[in-house]
């Protein structure tokens, strides 16, 4: 029976900007809980590095966790060293995390940095996982809905893809009952982040250009159809050609000047 550690970050709702459970991390926790329920894993260590008072952490407890460990770090501090130190102590066979979190600076690098520090293999974009003997069979999501089976030895780090099974609902009473254990942790602040100011952005509303006349079908087509056949098709371009094409496109769309 293996032990599983799940790394949980605090997400941010794209519409309201309010903290919430990060969807991919919640799916990682779902996978871990399923491993426990099916008898493949002995227990789940849930880890978060950040503010223990963040109410969004309760969303994870509401999924059925009894306790959640929080490495107490101020905002703007790199969580990797603290997480690595704690994972060395726990020595779980399996470390699960979402492929990317939802914070402003999240690049999805944390699992990779962690795998390097722990000297473990990492399997990204996992949608299913089966433990067999001393290894694991993982199903990886590839673009366009394709799947690939990967075998890997344990211990290992895996990150979850969005098409993994959906996270279970967070129940209010369970969230209230679960406990948050705070552990002291050290970290160094990021001077660049402290200088940054963040503010929400939104486009101004515009009325849709209503097309009058014609049949309902014509109006629907005019409203929904995209213009086809105006792009440039590049088959196996050289990296330089591809990059310059993307660059031109970004300029054309006014994304960069």
Binding site for other proteins (CB under 8 A): 13, 15-16, 18, 20, 62-64, 168-174, 202, 205-207
User: How far is it, in rounded angstroms, from Cα 86 to Cα 225?
Assistant: 53
- Interior/surface letters 213-231, b for 16+ CB within 10 angstroms, e for the rest: eeeeeeeeeeeeeeeeeee
Q: Which is nearer to other proteins, 24 or 73 (CB)?
A: 24
Query: Residue 75: exposed, middle, or buried by beta-carbon count in 10 A (0-12, 13-18, 19+)?
Result: exposed
Beta strands in 90-134 (DSSP E): 94-98, 122-132
| Secondary structure (DSSP) of 186-252 | ---B-HHHHH-------PPP----PPPSS-HHHHHHHHHPPP-S-S---SS--HHHHHHHHHHHHHH
CB atoms within 10 A of CB 191: 8
Residue number with CB closer to other proteins (204 or 227): 204
Task: Provide the minimum distance between the beta carbon of 16 and other proteins in the complex, in angstroms, as a whole number.
Answer: 4
Closest CA to 62 of 141, 167, 157: 167
Beta-bridge partner residues of 41: 2
Residue 91: CB minimum distance to other proteins, A = 31
Q: Please identify, using beta-carbon distances, which residue of 121 and 162 lies nearer to other proteins.
A: 162
3-class DSSP state of 56? coil
Residue 1 and residue 40 in contact, taking contact as beta carbons nearer than 8 Å: yes
Whose Cβ is closer to other proteins: residue 44's or residue 71's? Answer: 44
Q: CB of residue 27 vs other proteins: minimum separation in angstroms? A: 13
Q: How far is the CB of 20 from other proteins (least distance, A)?
A: 5
Closest approach of other proteins to the CB of residue 250, in Å? 26
Distance separating the N- and C-terminal Cα atoms of the chain: 56
User: Cβ of residue 179: shortest distance to other proteins, in angstroms?
Assistant: 16
Q: Which is nearer to other proteins, 22 or 114 (CB)?
A: 22
- Least Å distance, CB 201 to other proteins, is 11
Q: Which is nearer to other proteins, 202 or 212 (CB)?
A: 202
Measured from the CB atom, is 199 or 202 closer to other proteins?
Answer: 202
């Amino acid at each position: 029976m293996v032990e599983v550690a799940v790394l949980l970050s605090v997400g941010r709702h794209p519409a309201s900007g309010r903290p919430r459970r990060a969807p991919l991390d919640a799916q990682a926790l779902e996978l871990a809980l399923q491993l426990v329920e099916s008898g493949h894993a002995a227990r789940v260590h849930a880890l978060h590095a950040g503010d223990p008072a963040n109410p969004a952490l309760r969303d994870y407890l509401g999924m059925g966790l009894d306790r959640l460990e929080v490495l107490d770090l101020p905002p703007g501090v790199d969580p990797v060293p603290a997480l690595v130190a704690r994972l060395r102590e726990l020595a779980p066979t399996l470390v699960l995390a979402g492929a990317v979190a939802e914070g402003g600076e999240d690049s999805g690098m944390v699992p990779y940095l962690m795998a390097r520090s722990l000297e473990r293999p990492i399997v990204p974009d996992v949608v299913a996982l089966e433990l067999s003997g001393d290894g694991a069979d993982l199903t990886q999501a590839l673009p366009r809905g394709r799947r690939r089976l990967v075998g890997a030895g344990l211990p290992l780090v895996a990150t979850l893809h969005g098409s993994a099974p959906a996270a279970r609902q967070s129940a209010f009473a369970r969230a209230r009952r679960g406990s948050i254990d705070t552990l002291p942790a050290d970290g160094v602040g990021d001077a660049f982040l402290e200088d940054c100011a963040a503010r929400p952005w939104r486009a101004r509303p515009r009325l849709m250009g209503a097309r009058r006349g014609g049949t309902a079908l014509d109006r629907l087509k005019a409203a929904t159809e995209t213009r086809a056949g105006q792009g440039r098709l590049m088959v196996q371009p050289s990296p330089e050609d591809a990059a310059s094409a993307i660059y031109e496109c970004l300029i054309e769309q006014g994304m960069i000047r």
